[in-house]
Amino acid sequence: MLHYAFMVHALLAAGAVSVLCGLVGWFLLLRAEAFAGHALSHVGFTGATGAVLLGLPPLAGLISATLAAGLAMGGLGARIGRRDVAIGMVLSLALGFGLFFLHFYTSYAAQATALLFGNVLAVDRATVLALTGLCLVSLAGLALIGRPVLFAAIHPEIAEARGISPRAIGMAFLAICAIAIAGAAEIVGVLLVFTLLIGPAAAAQSLSRRVTVGLVLAPVLALGQAWAGLTAGFYSGWPISFWIAVFSFLTYVLATMLRPTEP
Amino acid sequence: MNDREPAVELDAVVLAQGPRTLLADASFRVGQGEIIGLLGPNGAGKSTLLRALLGLVRPRAGRISVLGRPVRPGATRVGYLPQTEPNGQFLSAWDVVAAGAAGNRLGLPWRGGTARAEIDAALAELGATHLAGRRYVNLSGGERQRVRLAQAVLGRPALLLLDEPLVSLDPAAQAETVALLRAIRARLGCAIVVSSHEINPLLPAIDRVLYLARGALALGPVDQVITTKVLSRLYGAPVEVVRVGGRIFVLPGEATLPLDRAG
Ligand SMILES: Nc1ncnc2c1ncn2[C@@H]1O[C@H](COP(=O)(O)OP(=O)(O)O)[C@@H](O)[C@H]1O
Ligand SMILES: [Mg+2]
C-alpha cells in the first residue's frame, strides 16, 4: 500500500496527528477536561464549514475556530473546562451554526460526511506538510510547558501558590489542544476526535500509574490505532474512521480489563 | 530571614471576600518553629487567610510579611496543603508528590536523579516510602495525608500552611496525622499553621491557637483563647466552653444548671 502517494500522505498525516493527540489527551484527562475537548471539535466543525463557504481551506477554518475557542476557554477561567452545561450549550450552538453554513453548500452531503467522519485519504501533500508542521510545533510547545501543565493539573492550588498562573497555563495548553483537535478532525472527523484524543490516553491511564510511562504509552497507542486503522481500511475498503474507532474502543476495553491490580 | 524574624507577621490587615469582611484590622505574629492551630467555624475565613499568606488573596489594607519578606506568590520556602485533594488519583503516590517538585520550571516532566532523591527523601521523612508505588486513589485517608504532607515538605520549607488536613479522617487517622505534624517540626524546624474546624484532635500538637470568627480573631495559648469569655466576644453571642477529660466542647447559649430547670 506504500506505493500509493495518497496512502503515504495519510500515514504521515495520521502519524503526526495521533502522536500529538495521545499526549494532549493524557493531559486533558488529567485536567478533567475531556468534554471541553469534545466541544472544541464541534466548534472546529463550525469553523470548517464557515471557511468552505468563504472559499477558504477547511483546515484553516478548523484551526482558527478551535484555537480561538481554546484560548477563550483557557482565558475565561481556570476550571471552565469542567462546566459541563455551559460547554454543552456552546457545543450545540456551534453545531447549529455548522448546519446553517452547510445549508448553503451545493454538495451538502459529501462535505458534511467528510467533516463529520473524516476523509484522510483525500489529504493532499500541502495539507500533510501543514499538519506535520503544526504538530511538530505543538509537540515542541508541549515539551516546553509539560512540567507546569502537569503540576497545575494535579495540584492546581499549590501550583498557583508557586507562581503558576492557572489562566496562562490553561490558555497555553488549550491552544495546543486546539491544534491537536483540528488535526484529529482532519483525520477522523469532528465526531470521532475522541478515538485519537481520549481513547489511547484513557487506555494508557488504565495501564500505567506512572507519568513517564503514560506519556510514552498514550502516543504509541494512538499511533498504533491510526496506522492499524489505515491499513485495515486500505485492505477492506471500509471507512478508515470506522476502523480507527473500532481499534480505539478495543484498546480501551482491553486496557480496562488488563488494568494492573494493586499488589 | 534571620533567627529573630517571625515566620508570619500581619500588620493591620483587612481581608474581604465580596461583601463579607473576613478579617478586620488583624495584627499578629507567628514565631519560627511554632505550630499554630487556625480554628473557627465553617466560612470564617480560614482558607482565605491561608491563601493570603501565600499571596493568592490580596488584603484590602495592611501588610503581610512571610519569612521576613512582603508576601508574594511563588515563595519557595512555604509549603502548602490545600483543602481539596489532588487530581490524577490514578497516578502512583510517588508521581503525585513528584508533580510538585520544581513543577514551575519549564521543560518535560521527567525527573533527574537529584529531584528523584529529593522526592524519595520527602516520602521517607513522612514514613510513606512503602506507599510510593501504590495508586493514590487506593490509599486510605491517613495514607493520603502522609503523601500530601510529603509533597508539602518538598524543598524543606520554613513555613508550612495546612488547610483542614484532618477533615474526613477517622479518629485514628486524625491522631496519626497530628503526630506527623510534630515529627515534621522536629525534623525541619519549620513553623506550621494548621486549620481545622474542630480543636480536639489538634490539641496534642499545637503551641498556640488562632481563633477566627466574624472578622475578629484571638491568638494565644489554648487555655487563654478557648474560654467562655473570649469566644462569646468573638461570636458576639453567649457560648459556653466546657472541658471534659482533656477535651474541649464549645456549646451555644448560656449555661443553665439542671437544678434551675428542675425548680
Ligand atoms: N472565591 C471566592 N469568592 C467569593 N467568596 C468566597 C470565595 N472563597 C470563599 N468565599 C467566601 O468567603 C468566606 C470564607 O471562606 P473560607 O475562607 O473558605 O472559610 P473557611 O475555610 O473558614 O471555611 C465564606 O463565606 C465563603 O463563602
Ligand atoms: Mg476552608
- Quote the pLDDT of residue B259: 52
Rounded to 10 deg, the angle between the A240-258 and A211-236 helix axes is 140
User: Which ligand approaches the C-alpha of residue B44 most closely?
Assistant: 1
Task: Give Cα separations from B8 to B25, B36, B39, B178, B193 (angstroms).
Answer: 16, 11, 17, 21, 10
- Side chain identity at residue B130, one-letter code: H
Q: Verify whether the Cβ–Cβ distance B91 to A263 is below 8 Å.
A: no
pLDDT in tens, A192-206: 899 999 999 999 999
- Quote the pLDDT of residue A73: 83
Backbone angles phi, psi at A67, to 5 degrees: -65, -45
Our mutation pick for probing the ligand 1 site, out of B14, B17, B20, counting the most ligand atoms within 8 A of Cβ, is B17
Q: Whose CA is nearest to atom 10 of ligand 1?
A: B17
CB-CB: which of A160, A209, A211 is closest to B56?
A160
Could you read off the pLDDT tens digit of each residue along chain B, which spans 263 residues? 566 789 999 999 999 988 899 999 999 999 999 999 999 999 999 999 999 999 999 999 999 999 999 998 887 799 999 999 999 999 999 999 999 887 677 888 878 888 899 999 999 999 999 999 999 999 999 999 999 999 999 989 999 999 999 998 999 999 999 999 999 999 999 999 999 989 999 999 999 999 999 999 999 999 999 999 999 999 999 999 999 988 999 998 776 655 544 43
The rounded distance, in Å, linking the Cα atoms of A50 and A96 is: 12
**Does any CB of chain A come closer than 8 Å to the CB of residue B96?**
yes
Interface residue ranges in chain A relative to chain B, Cβ cutoff 8 Å = 30-32, 143-148, 150-164, 205-206, 209-212, 215, 262-263
The residues pairing with B252 across neighbouring beta strands, listed in sequence order, are: B239
Count CB neighbours of B97 within 10 A.
Answer: 31
Our mutation pick for probing the ligand 1 site, out of B14, B22, B48, B194, counting the most ligand atoms within 8 A of Cβ, is B48
The rounded distance, in Å, linking the Cα atoms of A204 and A209 is: 9
Cell of A219: 502516543
Could you read off the pLDDT tens digit of each residue along chain A, which spans 263 residues? 788 888 999 999 999 999 999 999 999 999 988 888 988 999 999 999 999 888 888 889 999 999 999 888 888 765 655 677 878 888 888 888 888 888 887 766 677 788 888 888 888 888 899 999 999 999 999 999 999 999 999 999 999 999 999 889 999 999 999 999 999 998 998 888 999 999 999 999 999 999 999 999 999 999 999 999 999 999 999 999 999 999 999 999 999 998 877 76
Q: Verify whether the Cβ–Cβ distance A151 to B106 is below 8 Å.
A: no
- Quote the pLDDT of residue B261: 46
Task: For CA atoms A161, A164, A168, A172, give the dihedral sign.
Answer: negative
The rounded distance, in Å, linking the Cα atoms of B126 and B128 is: 5
Q: Minimal CA–CA distance to A41: which of A71, A17, A70?
A: A70
Report the run of H or E that residue B40 belongs to, with start and end.
none
Our mutation pick for probing the ligand 1 site, out of B38, B47, B57, B196, counting the most ligand atoms within 8 A of Cβ, is B47
Query: Among B95, B148, B193, which would you mutate to test the A interface (most chain A Cβ atoms within 10 Å of its Cβ)?
Result: B95
Supply the DSSP string of chain A, one letter for each residue.
Answer: -TTSHHHHHHHHHHHHHHHHHHHHHHHHHHTT-HHHHHHHHHHHHHHHHHHHHTT--HHHHHHHHHHHHHHHHHHH-TTGGG-HHHHHHHHHHHHHHHHHHHTT-SSHHHHHHHHHH--GGG--HHHHHHHHHHHHHHHHHHHHHHHHHHHHHH-HHHHHHTT--HHHHHHHHHHHHHHHHHHHHHHH-GGGHHHHHTHHHHHHHHH---HHHHHHHHHHHHHHHHHHHHHHHHHH-S-HHHHHHHHHHHHHHHHHHHPPPP-
Q: How far is the CA of A157 from the centre of ligand 2 (A)?
A: 13
Cell of B210: 488562632
- Quote the pLDDT of residue A175: 94
Q: Verify whether the Cβ–Cβ distance B135 to A262 is below 8 Å.
A: yes
Contacts A169 to B, Cβ<8 Å:
none
Chain B nearest C-alpha distance from A61 (Å)? 31
Chain A nearest C-alpha distance from B248 (Å)? 32
CATH of domain A5-191: 1.10.3470.10
- Quote the pLDDT of residue A84: 75
For chains A and B, what is the number of CB pairs under 8 angstroms? Answer: 105
CB-CB: which of B80, B87, B135 is closest to A30?
B87
**Does any CB of chain A come closer than 8 Å to the CB of residue B124?**
no
Q: Say which DSSP state B147 is in.
A: H
The rounded distance, in Å, linking the Cα atoms of A240 and A121 is: 9
Q: Verify whether the Cβ–Cβ distance B107 to A144 is below 8 Å.
A: yes
The rounded distance, in Å, linking the Cα atoms of A137 and A151 is: 22
Nearest CA in chain A to B138: A262
pLDDT in tens, A32-53: 888 889 889 999 999 999 998 8
Residues B168 and B141: beta-carbon distance below 8 Å: yes
- Quote the pLDDT of residue B70: 94
Query: Among B108, B139, B164, which would you mutate to test the A interface (most chain A Cβ atoms within 10 Å of its Cβ)?
Result: B108
- Quote the pLDDT of residue B258: 55
Please state the pTM of the whole predicted model: 0.92
Q: Minimal CA–CA distance to A53: which of A102, A91, A1, A7?
A: A102
